[in-house]
Each structure stands twice: as structure tokens, then as C-alpha cells.
Structure 1
Amino acid sequence: MKTYKIRKAEEKEVATIIDLLKEVASWLRNNDINQWGFLLEGGEDEEITEAVINGDTYVACHDDEIIATVTLYSQKSEWDQHVWGTEDDPEALYLHRLAVRPQYMKNGIGKEILNWVDENLKNTIRLDCVAHNPKLCAYYERNGYSLIGTTADGHSKFQKLHEEGSTNESNDITVTK
């Protein structure tokens, strides 16, 4: 049994987070999954940096190693406006860049991060992913997200409503494998 801590990312960790995301993007490419290729060319480095500085990015750590990351925006990004429209929903958080280092994949860490988000942040969670990746779409459905539509440019829109009564009040996630 391993325990991982989730906490807000620190500004000094920006380069590590960008490297982690590029490592995952490379893994995706090497496994013939057409997703996140733009990250390999630095396509979102500035946005990733801003998200860390603004306190929107979280990391999961095992000892002192960052093994996963996720970003949660309380305000719609330009991309979120494209996917979800411009009308604001003050109860919604927009999930971006959930990524687990390849050597830690298939250990339930992503699922535990999603559970932690639901239990600790108490918001409706919205996300989008490429519709042409059925494994990823099925992953979010298995983790309690409902498919609520697909954009004209091929992005599946998922949402999970917060259920009252679930509280964790902890930054620890435990994964048994």
C-alpha cells in the first residue's frame, strides 16, 4: 500500500510539471494515441506556468517526487468557453491536464485524484477530452462522469455533479496495488 499526498503546486515546480506533462505527451505519441502533441512543442507552457502561479494546479507526490498533476480552473479559460459556452457557472470547476507519470500508470492514482477532487473541492466538475479516444471517454464514465455532449470539432464533454455528504478533509490518497 502506498500513500500519496496531494497539494497545490508551488511556483518553483513549474519546470517539473511541464516536464511531467511532456513525458506523458511523449508516452501518448509512442503508444499511437493522438492527443497532447502540442505539449511537446511547448504549446501550453505559458498557460501551465500561469495556472501554477494562480494556485489552480495540484500535484500528487510520493515522498518528494511529483508523480501526477491536475489543473482545476474556477473561471473558464478561452478553451472552456469554446467547449462549454460563455455563460458562467459559479459552481463549476474545469478540469485540465490530469496526468500521471507513465511508470505510475495503471495503479489507480488517476482515479484517486478524481475522487480527491470530488470529495475535497465540492464543486461540479467539467472536463472535455477528444472523442476519438474511446478508452479515455470510458475512463471518465467509469469514474462517475456523465457524457453530456460532443462539440462540433470532436471533443466529448463530461460533467460530474458534486454529491452532498462526501467529505475527506485530507490531502492523502492511498492506493493499494
Structure 2
Amino acid sequence: MNKNFILHQAKPEDFEMIEGLLKETALWLKAKGSLQWNGILDGKDNHDTASAILRGEVFYGTVDNELAGMFILWDCQSKWDVTLWGADSSNDFYYLHRLNIKRNKSGMGIPHLMIDAAKEYAKQERKKALRLDCIAENRFLNQMYQQEKFDFIDCVKDVNAGEQINDFNLYQYVIK
């Protein structure tokens, strides 16, 4: 499958496609009983995806020319990143956000391809590491990031994520 996967940097004309994927993922999370990303369903975009696209921070992957998933990479910390990681003005890191896949591509290894693409992009951009956070109680995501060779850094307790208060695990992948 790897030969059919292509990473694209989103352009303004891709916004509706990206927004549709975010809403699809938010609906799926809600159906599973999660409050995570519920703001998207109410029209709240904490990541200001349209502006992130203009800044070149949104990426999407295709398999056989079909949308497979997307993520956002920030080289400057958001308020959220500062809350979790503490302030860092070095620009040595990319902060990975909103990694998600099309539900009809589940079980096809798309997250691995997306994460590998993010690692490669970070390497090309000469970043020292790729950082991310996830809800501490989400066993699937925590296992996935550990399998992708991210190092567990810390667990930040009782953080208000807007939709809910959770503990968040911090992970970092050192670029080699």
C-alpha cells in the first residue's frame, strides 16, 4: 500500500474536504461516547484550520487518489501546546495535531503512513523532534504512538480541553 500513499500540503481549495473529514471524525467519536472534538460539530474550530491551511500547516494523505487522512503540523506552539509542554520559543519541534483518518480506510495502516510522512517532513525541515498529546485513557492511541517509536514524556493531569477535563499524555519522537 505504501507505493499508493501520497502526502499533500493542503491548499485553500481543499478546505471543504478537510472540514468534512474533521466533522466525520467528530461524529464517529461522538457515536463512541467521546466528547473529544465535539466543538467541531458546533462550528467551533479551535485549530483555525482555514488559517492553518494558508500557513501551509495542514497535510492530507491519499491512497489511490482517495482521501485517507489528515493532520496539522505547527512549528510554533499554540496556547494548548504551551499549557501542556510549557513555553518553548526554539522552533525546534513540530507539534502534531488532529491526526485522523477516513473511517472507510480504518484497518489499512493509514495512521502509520501518515505518521511516517510527518516524521519525514520534520526531518526535511530540520526539526529536532515531533511532539503530540493524546487523552491518557485512550489505550488505542497511546499504544499506537508507542508502536510508532514516540517516547512517553509526561502525563499532565486535569486539563480543560473545552469539551471535557482529561489527563493528557505527552509523546515525542526524536528526529534522527
Identify the TM-score tier after normalising by the shorter chain: 0.7 to 0.9
Contact 2:151 2:171 in 1 (8 A): yes
Letter in 2 for 1:37: N
**Which of 138, 152, 155 pairs up with 2:157?**
152
CA RMSD between the two structures: 1.6
8 Å Cα contact 2:95/2:131 also seen in 1: yes
- Summarize the alignment of residues 9-24 of structure 1 with structure 2, pairs less than 5 Å apart: 9-24=10-25
CA distance in 1, matches of 2:37, 2:61: 20
Deviation at 1:150, TM superposition (A): 1.1
Identity over the aligned pairs, expressed in percent?
Answer: 28
8 A contact 1:131–1:155 mirrored in 2 = yes
Identify the residue that residue 105 of structure 2 maps to in structure 1. 104
- Quote the Cα distance in structure 1 between the aligned partners of 2:156 and 2:9: 31
Q: What does residue 7 of structure 1 align with? A: 8
- What TM-score do the two structures reach when normalised by structure 1? 0.85
Shift of 1:34: 4.0
Cα shift at 1:18: 1.0
Partner of residue 119, structure 1: 120
The alignment of Structure 1 onto Structure 2 pairs a total of residues equal to 163
| Whole-angstrom CA distance in 2 between matches of 1:28 and 1:132 | 14
5+ unaligned residues in a row in structure 1: which ranges?
164-177
The residue number in structure 1 matching 2:78 is 77
Query: Of the two structures, which has the highest relative contact order with CA contacts closer than 8 Å and spacing of 6 or more?
Result: 1
Equivalent positions of 1:126-145 (< 5 A) are: 126-145=131-150
Q: Distance in 2 between matches of 1:52 and 1:21?
A: 14
User: Do the aligned partners of 1:71 and 1:95 also contact (CA within 8 Å) in 2?
Assistant: yes
Whether contact under 8 Å (1:129, 1:137) holds in the other structure is yes
Q: Letter of the 2:151 partner, please give it.
A: S
1:97-138 deviations in Å (ceiling 9; x for gaps) = 011000001110111111122123213000011112121111
Moved more, 45-54 or 133-142: 45-54
Please report how far the alpha carbon of residue 90 of structure 1 lies from its aligned counterpart in structure 2 after TM superposition.
2.0
- 1:86–1:46 distance in 2 versus 1, CA, 3 Å: closer
- In 1, the alpha carbon distance for the partners of 2:145 and 2:88 equals 24
Give the CA deviation at 1:17.
0.4
| 2:95–2:132 contact (8 Å) kept in structure 1 | yes
Pairwise CA distance, 1:142:
0.9
Deviation at 1:16, TM superposition (A): 1.2
Q: Conserved in 2, the CA contact under 8 Å of 1:18 and 1:45?
A: no
Match of 1:146, as an amino acid? D
- Measured at CA, do residues 45 and 151 of structure 1 come closer, stay the same or move farther in structure 2, by a change above 3 Å? closer
Residue identity opposite 1:97 in structure 2:
R
